[in-house]
Structure 1
Amino acid sequence: MTKVFIELSEIDVNTTRFIDTRFNLADSKAGFDLFQDGHVEGAVYWDLEKDLSNMEDVQGRHPMISKEKMTELVQSAGLSLDDQIVIYDQGAVPFSLRAYFLLEWAGFKNVKVLRQGFEEIKKALPISKNVTYYDKTRVVPSWNDNILLNMDDVREVVKGNKKGQLIDARAAARFRGEIEPIDPIAGHIPTAINFDWEQLKQGSTFLDKDSLTAKLSELTNKKKPVIAYCGSGVTAAPLYATLKEAGYEDVKLYVGSYSDWIRENEIETSI
């Protein structure tokens, strides 16, 4: 099983690089404001929409960034492939796990996400308002492209030409097509099953490994490829990561997700 989450008690602040990914979908400036008010000492800030998404692309509401942009991001943060990296956000939200996925895609092997949010973090780790600047590195990512699917890949899964179980991380009512508060068409990608990502957390903390495993183990065959998606590709990231922690052997993410799929494809409903 892959270990995704880390506990505060397991962290050595002297050997760890921290990434702060706090964000608010309703107020895109709020995360950086919080960072300026105080963050783990030495942390850099990555913004969901400025750094971790390509908002100029049309492939969904939070499209995938390019390899060039990801390379610039990790180099500007002064990171190396063998760094011990810990990512955090306000707690039990998807932003740190989006960064986790991108770093895994780029070939970083020692990346963990704090199970707790910032209110707990600041009780245990040194906090500062000072921004730390790092020398730019020349790190070259070692791309792990097989964890990332695009629309064409998902079409092949839906048609049965490629193995894989699509898992929709949205609320059940959205999956069934009963409501759709954001996208213009209600429903889900054909052949998908549903698991609401909100079940993965309690308050501002993600569930422990045993609880996650118990909730996720019976979704489908653990040896079968599983593909997480959601509305825009953001809340699929917690499902992607927790499926790995629950012992699934081949986990992928469709970053474009439902908002990308409906541009060109038929949907299903369960009404």
Structure 2
Amino acid sequence: MQTTIFVSANKMERNGRIIDARYDLTNEQLGKQLYEEGHIEGAIFWDLNDDLSDMTRNEGRHPLPSKEQLQQLFERSGLHVNDAIYIYDQGASPFATRAWWILHYAGFQHAYIVNGGYQAMKAAGFAISEEVPTFAPTTLNLQWNDEILLKRSDIVRVVDEKANVTLLDARANVRYRGEEEPMDAVAGHIPTAKNYDWEQLREGANLVITSSLLEKVKKDEEIIVYCGSGVTATPVYSILKQAGYEQVKIYMAGYSDWVKHEPIEIGENL
């Protein structure tokens, strides 16, 4: 299985495929605007809402597209399973990690997140272009990693059975504790879940492995990461995989799905 996930711009293969995943949750058009104004030469653009989510589905705020939709995205992007694929966003953000997780779910073994994002690649000498590249479509035979994607019913079973599994909530601590909730109808968290705010992984424009995260979870236990809508859980997931954790899964629909159907908990689980 892939263990190197985050790479620096200086260590990229110059002939790899490049994906621009820049986005802003408070300004949904910003990523597209930035791409049009200038992107790394040869990069295609994947939008969080249009490409990496299916906003017509009712599974949280950023529902994962179907396998068929994702395969179509990969094929019209001209990707091959063995391509070296480098994904960047604005740096220390959860959008390149969301795109990486989706490729990982689809069985791509050579996809990487560029730490430092767009500015790091620019500083490393990658050319900037306004031209939108085109690639010949491909036909893919994908081997999906179904075991890493969990549904609400799986989480219900974990909670009800008090299984030896760590649920890890990647949202801000005030939302987890139930003190504030700007997006969902009810504040709190999934029962039994612990909290690790994904933003603690940010160091400048990089996402880094932290001792506080490694102390929160053990390598020999199953870890299920979730957030509000399946975006900010992906930095925690990818950092844990980079650190060599093997039993990591994700509840992509997240709290925004759970809270509509199941009871919640407030306070802190240590």
What TM-score, normalized by structure 1, do the two folds share?
A: 0.95
Does residue 170 of the first structure (1) align with residue 171 of the second (2)? yes
In 1, the alpha carbon distance for the partners of 2:26 and 2:162 equals 39
Give 1:164 deviation, angstroms: 2.0
Aligned to 1:149, the other structure's residue is in SS state: coil
Q: Residue 253 of structure 1 is aligned with which of 241, 246, 250?
A: 250
Which digits, 9 at most, give the CA deviation of each residue in 1:125-161, with x for residues without a partner? 1211111100000012211100100100111111126
Please give the secondary structure, in 2, of the residue aligned with 1:218: helix
Q: Distance in 1 between matches of 2:167 and 2:238?
A: 15
The answer to whether 1:264 aligns with 2:265 is no
Tell me what 1:89 maps to: 89
- Deviation track 1:212-264 (CA, whole Å, cap 9, x = no partner) reads 15232211221111011011111001011111112222111111000000111
1:65-94 C-alpha deviation (Å, 9 max, x unpaired): 100100000000000100000000011110
1:47 aligns with 2:47: yes
For residues 77 and 177 of structure 2, the distance between their equivalents in structure 1, rounded to whole angstroms, comes to: 41
Moved segments of 4+, more than 3 Å? none
CA displacement, residues 163-203 of structure 1 (integer Å, 9 cap, x when unaligned): 42110001111110011111110000001000000000123
Instruction: Give 1:186's aligned residue.
Output: 187
Pairing 1:221-260 to 2, within 5 Å after superposition? 221-260=218-257
The one-letter code matched in structure 1 to 2:72 is E
The Cα offsets for residues 99-145 of structure 1, whole Å up to 9 and x where unpaired, read as 01100111100011011121222121121111110000001221110
- The residue number in structure 2 matching 1:122 is 122
Contact residue 201 and residue 210 of structure 2 kept, 8 A: no
Question: What letter corresponds to residue 87 of structure 1 in structure 2?
Answer: I
Query: Which SS does the other structure have where 2:36 is aligned?
Result: helix
Q: What CA distance in whole angstroms lies between the structure 2 residues aligned with 1:163 and 1:152?
A: 17
User: Separation in 2 of the partners of 1:214 and 1:2?
Assistant: 18
How far apart in 1 are the matches of 2:90 and 2:24? 10
| Identical-residue share of aligned pairs (%) | 45
Alignment of 1:150-165 (within 5 A): 150-160=151-161, 162-165=163-166
- CA RMSD in angstroms comes to 1.3
The answer to whether the 8 Å contact 1:94/1:238 transfers is yes
Distance 2:20 2:4 in 1: 20
Tell me which amino acid in the other structure corresponds to 1:158. Answer: V
CA distance in 2, matches of 1:70, 1:131: 21
Residue identity in the other structure for 1:72: Q
Q: Which residue of 1 aligns with 2:213?
A: 216
Unaligned runs of 5+ in 2: none
Q: 1:133 corresponds to which residue?
A: 134
Structure 1 stretches lacking a partner, 5+ long: none
- Separation in structure 2 between the aligned mates of residue 185 and residue 260 of structure 1, nearest angstrom: 12
Equivalent residue of 1:97, what SS?
helix
Which residue of 2 is the match for residue 149 of structure 1? 150
Q: Is the 8 A contact 1:213 1:245 kept in 2?
A: no
